Chains A and B, each alone.
Chain A
Amino acid sequence: MSLTTPAPTTTAAAPAKPAPAPRARSANKRSGVPYAFLAPALVLFAAFLAAPIVYAGWLSLRKVKVSGLGLGAKSRTEIWAGLDNYTRSLTDPEFLPSVTRVGAYGLIVVPTMLGLALLMALLLDADRTRESIGKFARISIFLPYAVPAVVASLLWGFLYLPRVSPITDLFEAVGLTAPNMLSSSGTMWAVANIAIWGGTGFNMIVIYTALRSVPTSLYESARIDGASEMMIAWKIKIPIVMPSLVMTFVFSLIATLQVFAEPMTLRPLANTISTTWTPLMKVYRDAFTRNDIYSAAATSVIIALATFILSFGFLKVVGRRAFNQED
């Protein structure tokens, strides 16, 4: 098929055109085919991804100007703001602490989650476990991923609140005081715990799937050479699943930068999570509590740029090493 060869440099206008069915003959007709196939995807991409992004960019350069008391229908006008919203976003005293917080959160969540996922994948891939409890264990580890973050946060919220938590009762039964997870030192761990609980299963499945695609002959020859299971895991399995680890790392990095649902759901339960606890919560507060979508758009653009730079920067750094066996 020749479908893989179009160079769609001028596709923007193509999808809107009605199909050139009647005039078609030979080469002319054939060149229309790929565009027609692409049309649905391009329309959806343009309408639900590109257009909102452009609109957010536009909004971030605007602001509302109120005149006088601001009462009545005609007292608000939208005006050009230039880079004002960006300057204010970056110099907001709450912005830097929220970025630092997300950094610390990422340092806890990403290594712990991926470490656990890798460990569990290796354990499940071992011959003995795979045959006995493999299926059950895989499903139970994966299951938390199927729980929506808001629901998970509500569940964990109940477990964190001393008066309704069975964990507190357990601690008391053995004569200990349960740690207060929603205190100023505990909050970070409380939020990170929910993310790790919810995310480990997904990453485990990705790594496990990569492990399963390794031909068993590799392990057999290693065993003949006298390698222990630990050696096989360390010297063969981990290097082979490196591309999967890189991929899960990038996914986790992006999820970390966008952490929102967990702290947002826990916020009303504690004094220790502010409305600007993470950058994305600041976006939410600006847009929906302060009714200032312009500042919110500017902060969103900043977050998006940071995500792009970090993800692609990371891929550039590790890319060659991680993927060299596939080149």
Chain B
Amino acid sequence: MNKKFVPFAAALTAAALLSVTACSSSDDSDSGSSDEPVSLTYWSWTPNMDKVVDAWNAKNPNIQIVVNKQDGGDPAVTKLLTAIQAGSGAPDIMQAEYQKVPTLVSADAIADISAEVGDLKAKFPDGVWNGVTLGSDAVYGVPQDSAPLMFFYRSDVFEKNGLEAPKTWDDYAAAAEKIHKADPKQYIGTFSATDAGLFTGLAQQAGASWWGVNGDAWSVNINEPATQKVAAYWGGLVEKGVVDNKPMYTPDWNAALNDGTQVGWVSAVWAPGVLEGSAADTKGKWKVAAMPQWDAAAPATGNWGGSATSVTTQSKHPKQAAEFVSWLNTDPEALKLLANTANVYPASTDATALLTEPPAFLSEQADYYAIAAEAAKAAKPFTYGPNVNVAYSSFNDAFAKAAEAKKASAFTEALTTMQQTTVDDLKKAGFNVAG
């Protein structure tokens, strides 16, 4: 190479590198009128959501939605918060679990779309609607699905042991003992320290509401009587050894469901989809019943999961995004697709009439959706706070220790840790905390 040319070429390389990095970080920022075709990205982890969206795309050539499949609720929120902090990279539309809504609002990640969606309040149960407004005039998303807790059980094993679906938690404890005595390998269920959402639902059923707003201050009530009752109950069962202490959603747990060593599961309306994947060999043997109750005279339940569809603060086309979000969760055609193709249990009250066929995995249970509808109505009110993530990760650590120790007293102590960690985190960040 020509000697004179060398420094020039090297500098050129450096300059080219610089300009490449510069280009990739700048976004085009045309605001665009509503008639111009726009393409919006939508983060969701619901299976087959792309097929639901296809129906919208076919009819709306100017607002094309691109579904970007996510791993699940937690990783998607992590990614979204990182993108919000970075200032770019967030989608236009985001699936947001109800318990994450306050966190996302507090991080300024999802936008108030009350002006864009209009009045949809009448289309949803009050408890669900409250989850997207947080009790204010703002609307931080449109509810998509609700996930009331129910009890799934292996009818063949229960019959063999002369048992019926437990009506109360006392029945459940008795059944747990009977099943485990009859076959020491079998358990009615497991207490999983990796699933804070389920424990929250159980506490919700008992009447707890872990966060609250008093004027302009948050209150935290995790270590309170209803939750203590639930923790002591499960701790007692684990200590006795009649309920397993292994985490859920592991290959080991899948195998236990499939080979009949776990014969019951307190889970939500979406459970048949999970069972189909992890316990395919047991098809036709499962049944569903309403949740065991603390007070049989006043049936109650909680939720495990359920999510809304929100528009992010980084979207350049919030109006079009809100239009889609509202169609997706209220239009009869969309609700039908959600229920039948994406297998979600729509939150909209209009959807009840659409769900007649039971899920394929429980095809013999004709009243599946009647039981689910009853459960959805019985869900107790529950308020989530702005640091659910902190409380949940504290749950993971504290209850993992308790479950490993197999001591009922450790379960109630874990609540003290959770309460302390959650309050400390709020105070540290500067939130007003009452009490």
Q: In the complex, which residues of chain A have a beta carbon less than 8 angstroms from the beta carbon of B251?
A: 157-158, 161, 163-164, 269
Q: Judging by beta carbons under 8 Å apart, are A75 and B106 in contact?
A: yes
Q: Judging by beta carbons under 8 Å apart, are A271 and B193 in contact?
A: yes
Q: Taking the complex as formed, is B115 at the interface, i.e. its CB lies under 8 A from any CB of chain A?
A: no
User: Provided the pairs A68-B432, A69-B213, A71-B106 are in contact, do residues A37 and B10 lie with their beta carbons within 8 angstroms?
Assistant: yes
Contact for A21 among B7, B13, B218, B245, CB less than 8 A: B7
Per the bound structure, the CA–CA distance linking A183 and B136 in Å amounts to 47
Cβ < 8 Å to A, chain B residues 213-269 = 213, 216-218, 245-247, 249-252, 255-256, 259, 261
Residue interface mask A93-129, B partner, CB < 8 A = 1: 0000000000000000000000000000000000000
Interface of B is mostly: helix
Q: Taking the complex as formed, is A258 at the interface, i.e. its CB lies under 8 A from any CB of chain B?
A: no
Cβ < 8 Å to A, chain B residues 393-435 = 393, 396-397, 400-401, 403-404, 425, 428-432
Q: In the complex, which residues of chain B have a beta carbon less than 8 angstroms from the beta carbon of A271?
A: 193, 245-247, 400-401, 403-404
Contact for A69 among B216, B389, B393, B401, CB less than 8 A: B216
**Who on chain B is nearest to A47 by CB?**
B21
Q: Taking the complex as formed, is A288 at the interface, i.e. its CB lies under 8 A from any CB of chain B?
A: yes
Contact for B431 among A17, A69, A275, CB less than 8 A: A69
**Who on chain B is nearest to A76 by CB?**
B108
Q: In the complex, which residues of chain A have a beta carbon less than 8 angstroms from the beta carbon of B70?
A: none
Per the bound structure, the CA–CA distance linking A183 and B431 in Å amounts to 39
Residue interface mask A19-49, B partner, CB < 8 A = 1: 1110010000100110111011001100100
Interface residue tally for chain A (C-beta within 8 Å): 55
Per the bound structure, the CA–CA distance linking A75 and B162 in Å amounts to 58
Q: How far is the CB of B78 from chain A (nearest CB, A)?
A: 5
Contact for A164 among B6, B193, B255, B390, CB less than 8 A: B255
Q: Judging by beta carbons under 8 Å apart, are B247 and A288 in contact?
A: no
Q: How far is the CB of A73 from chain B (nearest CB, A)?
A: 5
Q: Judging by beta carbons under 8 Å apart, are B256 and A71 in contact?
A: no
Q: In the complex, which residues of chain A have a beta carbon less than 8 angstroms from the beta carbon of B13?
A: 39-40
**Who on chain A is nearest to B75 by CB?**
A288
Q: Taking the complex as formed, is B365 at the interface, i.e. its CB lies under 8 A from any CB of chain A?
A: no
Residue interface mask A150-183, B partner, CB < 8 A = 1: 0000000110011110000000000000000001
**Who on chain A is nearest to B11 by CB?**
A19
Q: Judging by beta carbons under 8 Å apart, are A68 and B216 in contact?
A: yes
Cβ < 8 Å to A, chain B residues 39-91 = 78, 81-82, 85
Per the bound structure, the CA–CA distance linking A292 and B14 in Å amounts to 35
Q: In the complex, which residues of chain A have a beta carbon less than 8 angstroms from the beta carbon of B10?
A: 19, 36-37, 39-40
- A65, A71, A158, A285: residue with the most chain B Cβ atoms closer than 10 Å: A71
Q: Taking the complex as formed, is A184 at the interface, i.e. its CB lies under 8 A from any CB of chain B?
A: yes
Q: Judging by beta carbons under 8 Å apart, are B247 and A66 in contact?
A: no
Q: Taking the complex as formed, is A276 at the interface, i.e. its CB lies under 8 A from any CB of chain B?
A: yes
Per the bound structure, the CA–CA distance linking A24 and B4 in Å amounts to 9
Q: Taking the complex as formed, is A130 at the interface, i.e. its CB lies under 8 A from any CB of chain B?
A: no
Q: Taking the complex as formed, is A148 at the interface, i.e. its CB lies under 8 A from any CB of chain B?
A: no
Q: Judging by beta carbons under 8 Å apart, are A275 and B136 in contact?
A: no
Q: How far is the CB of B87 from chain A (nearest CB, A)?
A: 13
Per the bound structure, the CA–CA distance linking A290 and B74 in Å amounts to 11
Q: In the complex, which residues of chain A have a beta carbon less than 8 angstroms from the beta carbon of B194?
A: 268
Residue interface mask A278-293, B partner, CB < 8 A = 1: 0000000100111111
Q: Judging by beta carbons under 8 Å apart, are A269 and B247 in contact?
A: yes
Q: In the complex, which residues of chain B have a beta carbon less than 8 angstroms from the beta carbon of A289?
A: 78, 389-390, 393
Per the bound structure, the CA–CA distance linking A44 and B14 in Å amounts to 9
Q: Judging by beta carbons under 8 Å apart, are A36 and B216 in contact?
A: no
Per the bound structure, the CA–CA distance linking A71 and B390 in Å amounts to 17
Q: Judging by beta carbons under 8 Å apart, are B8 and A162 in contact?
A: no
Q: Taking the complex as formed, is B342 at the interface, i.e. its CB lies under 8 A from any CB of chain A?
A: no
Q: Judging by beta carbons under 8 Å apart, are B85 and A43 in contact?
A: no
User: Provided the pairs A15-B14, A39-B10, A65-B429 are in contact, do residues A73 and B313 lie with their beta carbons within 8 angstroms?
Assistant: yes
Contact for A270 among B7, B108, B247, B393, CB less than 8 A: B247
Q: In the complex, which residues of chain B have a beta carbon less than 8 angstroms from the beta carbon of A269?
A: 247, 250-252
Q: How far is the CB of A168 from chain B (nearest CB, A)?
A: 10
Q: Taking the complex as formed, is A193 at the interface, i.e. its CB lies under 8 A from any CB of chain B?
A: no
User: Provided the pairs A18-B11, A161-B252 are in contact, do residues A275 and B397 lie with their beta carbons within 8 angstroms?
Assistant: yes
6 residue pairs from A and B, CB less than 8 Å apart? A19-B12, A21-B7, A21-B8, A268-B194, A288-B81, A290-B425
The 6 closest A-B pairs by CB, nearest first: A36-B7, A19-B11, A36-B10, A161-B252, A271-B400, A39-B14
Interface on B for A, CB 8 Å cutoff? Answer: 4, 6-8, 10-15, 17-18, 21, 78, 81-82, 85, 102-103, 105-108, 134, 136, 193-194, 213, 216-218, 245-247, 249-252, 255-256, 259, 261, 313, 386-387, 389-390, 393, 396-397, 400-401, 403-404, 425, 428-432
A163-B255, A291-B107, A293-B85 known; 20 new pairs, CB 8 Å cut-off, are: A18-B15, A19-B10, A33-B6, A40-B14, A69-B386, A69-B431, A70-B431, A71-B386, A72-B105, A73-B108, A73-B313, A76-B108, A163-B251, A164-B251, A184-B404, A268-B194, A271-B400, A274-B401, A288-B81, A290-B389
